[in-house]
DNA sequence: ACAACCAGTTGCAAAAAGCAATCACTTGGA
DNA sequence: TCCAAGTGATTGCTTTTTGCAACTGGTTGT
């Protein structure tokens, strides 16, 4: 059970934790979609994750201290997943990855809009977003004022979807 | 052969390309270790990559346009792998991943020093480094003057190794 | 009472990773 | 000239991970 690490390199260690095809997808949906329940992550998944894989990933992320799980008072079986600070700080990784994908890969318009805004906003916007995530997941009070980055990203996405529908 | 994408999300598309345990390790060794030959990547790998996996990853990275391969004039069988602009622009992703790993995972001192310097230098240092990489891999002339970031990172690493040896 | 909802688990097949040995060729030195 | 060392891989094999579909056992609302 004592997992041996391949090396003590930070990049390698990070890849051992989130270097697979699904972990960061789950984190992405928690961050940008605010999906907090198992079913929510399962059925709204753009990519169609299987339930056993989702289950296994959530377990790993729990073990690694990237997310936590709490009981939902409204439903005895429902669990609420929240990001830890360690999980929230994966946002810059996701942002850079998204920027790279947006620039070089065949991204669809509606799914690319968030990557664009995040890229244009830069580290300052990321920090604001992380501040909001700390409020949403850790119950800390927001430091920055003004409109929510989360809401702005969502609104931009909805606008693109609406525009495409009209055509 | 026409691979179907799981979705048009930039994060997902990026993960489909480099979201595995080895691709970014190879890129890391090319960038930070300046390893340009198959054998070089194979035998100096900190993590001990197997030859068939290295072979397969290099093929994928070639197909994706992240690296190119040229014949080495000094040896008919030797190939020289170089980064493309698309590959060079993975540096910010590596830097963020390294920063996260450095902060939260059991990184060894000698392998963590580069992550620390890269983090402290921030996007400005990354840009300088990418400028150097364009010189090393694409034959473009460097725009910025002054000491090489590549050399600084290497020197810092050597210094830590030397210090540990003395003890 | 019962259908819909919830968080998973199980069993099985396919794909990928990992390991050791081998291959076909090139180079440099005795 | 010959042969060891070096080159970039490939092959065959086992183990591990992924992916899919069906299922389980409990909860909630009507």
Residue A99 has pLDDT above 80, yes or no: yes
- Let me know whether B78 and B103 are in one domain: no
| Confidence category of residue B1, pLDDT binned at 50, 70, 90 | very low
Within 7 Å of a protein beta carbon, the nucleotides of strand D are: 6-12, 17-22, 25-29
Closest residue in chain A to residue B104, using alpha carbons only = A86
Give the up-direction half-sphere exposure of residue B31: CA atoms within 13 A in the CB hemisphere: 28
- Is residue A15 within 8 A of residue B24, CB to CB? The reply is yes
Range of the domain at B145: 90-167
How confident is the model over A157-166, as pLDDT tens digits?
999 999 988 8
- Let me know whether B77 and B106 are in one domain: no
- Is residue A149 within 8 A of residue A125, CB to CB? The reply is yes
Query: Hey, is B80 helix, strand or coil?
Result: strand
- Let me know whether B127 and B147 are in one domain: yes
Length of chain A: 167
- Inter-chain CB pairs, A–B, below 8 Å: 154
- Let me know whether B102 and B51 are in one domain: no
CA–C1' span, B46 to C26, in Å?
28
pLDDT at B4: 77
**What CATH number is given to the structural domain containing B44?**
1.10.10.10
Q: What is the mean pLDDT of chain A?
A: 95
- Let me know whether B27 and B65 are in one domain: yes
Distance (Å, whole) CA A68 – CA A80: 8
- Is residue B16 within 8 A of residue B6, CB to CB? The reply is yes
- Let me know whether A64 and A96 are in one domain: no
Number of folded domains in chain A?
Answer: 2
Q: Which of A83, A103, A121 is the last residue of a domain?
A: A83
Mean pLDDT, residues A13-29 taken together: 97
Mean pLDDT, residues B80-104 taken together: 98
Q: Is residue B79, in this structure, part of any structural domain at all?
A: yes
Residue A67 has pLDDT above 90, yes or no: yes
pLDDT at B81: 97
- Let me know whether B120 and B51 are in one domain: no
Query: Hey, is B70 helix, strand or coil?
Result: strand
DSSP strand pairing (A79-83 vs A67-71): antiparallel
Q: What is the mean pLDDT of chain B?
A: 95
Q: Is residue B30, in this structure, part of any structural domain at all?
A: yes
pLDDT at A3: 55
- Let me know whether A78 and A95 are in one domain: no
What helix, strand, coil percent values describe chain B, rounded to 5? 65, 5, 30
- Let me know whether A63 and A113 are in one domain: no
- Is residue B17 within 8 A of residue A105, CB to CB? The reply is yes
- Let me know whether B45 and B114 are in one domain: no
Q: Is residue B2, in this structure, part of any structural domain at all?
A: no
Q: Which of B49, B83, B117 is the last residue of a domain?
A: B83
Residue B144 has pLDDT above 50, yes or no: yes
Q: Which of A1-15, A121-135, B16-30, B69-83 has the lowest mean pLDDT?
A: A1-15
A152: which residues sit within 8 A by CB, 6+ positions away? A117
Mean pLDDT, residues A94-101 taken together: 98
Q: Which of A51, A83, A115 is the last residue of a domain?
A: A83
Nearest to A12 among B25, B86, B123 (CB): B25
Q: For B98-142, what is the HEC assignment?
A: HHHHHHHCCCCHHHHHHHHHHHHHHHHHHHHHHHHHHHHHHCCCC
Percentage of chain A surpassing pLDDT 90?
Answer: 91
pLDDT at B166: 86
pLDDT at B133: 98
| Confidence category of residue B3, pLDDT binned at 50, 70, 90 | low
Q: Is residue B77, in this structure, part of any structural domain at all?
A: yes
| Confidence category of residue A2, pLDDT binned at 50, 70, 90 | very low
Q: Is residue B3, in this structure, part of any structural domain at all?
A: no
Residue B9 burial by Cβ neighbours in a 10 Å radius (0-12, 13-18, 19+): buried
- Let me know whether A142 and A97 are in one domain: yes
Around Cβ B163, how many Cβ atoms within 10 Å?
11
Mean pLDDT, residues A9-21 taken together: 96
| Confidence category of residue A1, pLDDT binned at 50, 70, 90 | very low
- Let me know whether B32 and B49 are in one domain: yes
Eight-class DSSP state of B144: S
pLDDT at A148: 96
Mean pLDDT, residues A105-111 taken together: 96
Residues of A in contact with B107 (CB under 8 A): 8-10, 13
Q: Is residue B1, in this structure, part of any structural domain at all?
A: no
| Confidence category of residue B2, pLDDT binned at 50, 70, 90 | very low
Cβ of B32 near strand D (distance < 7 A): no
Residue B117 has pLDDT above 70, yes or no: yes
CA distances from B57 to A43, B16, B20, B41 (A): 32, 13, 10, 12
């Amino acid at each position: 059970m004592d997992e041996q690490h391949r090396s003590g390199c930070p990049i390698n260690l990070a890849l051992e934790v989130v270097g697979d095809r699904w972990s960061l997808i789950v984190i992405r949906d928690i961050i940008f979609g605010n999906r907090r329940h198992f079913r929510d992550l399962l059925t709204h998944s753009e990519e169609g994750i299987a339930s056993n894989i989702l289950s296994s990933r959530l377990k790993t992320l729990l073990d690694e201290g990237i997310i936590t799980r709490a009981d939902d008072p409204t439903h005895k079986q429902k669990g609420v997943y929240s990001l830890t600070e360690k999980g929230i700080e994966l946002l810059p990784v996701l942002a850079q990855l998204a920027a790279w994908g947006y620039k070089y890969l065949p991204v669809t318009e509606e799914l690319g809009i968030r990557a664009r805004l995040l890229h244009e906003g830069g580290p300052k916007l990321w920090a604001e977003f992380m501040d909001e995530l700390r409020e949403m997941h850790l119950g800390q009070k927001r430091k920055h004022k003004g409109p929510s980055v989360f809401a702005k990203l969502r609104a931009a996405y909805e606008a693109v979807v609406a525009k495409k529908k009209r055509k």
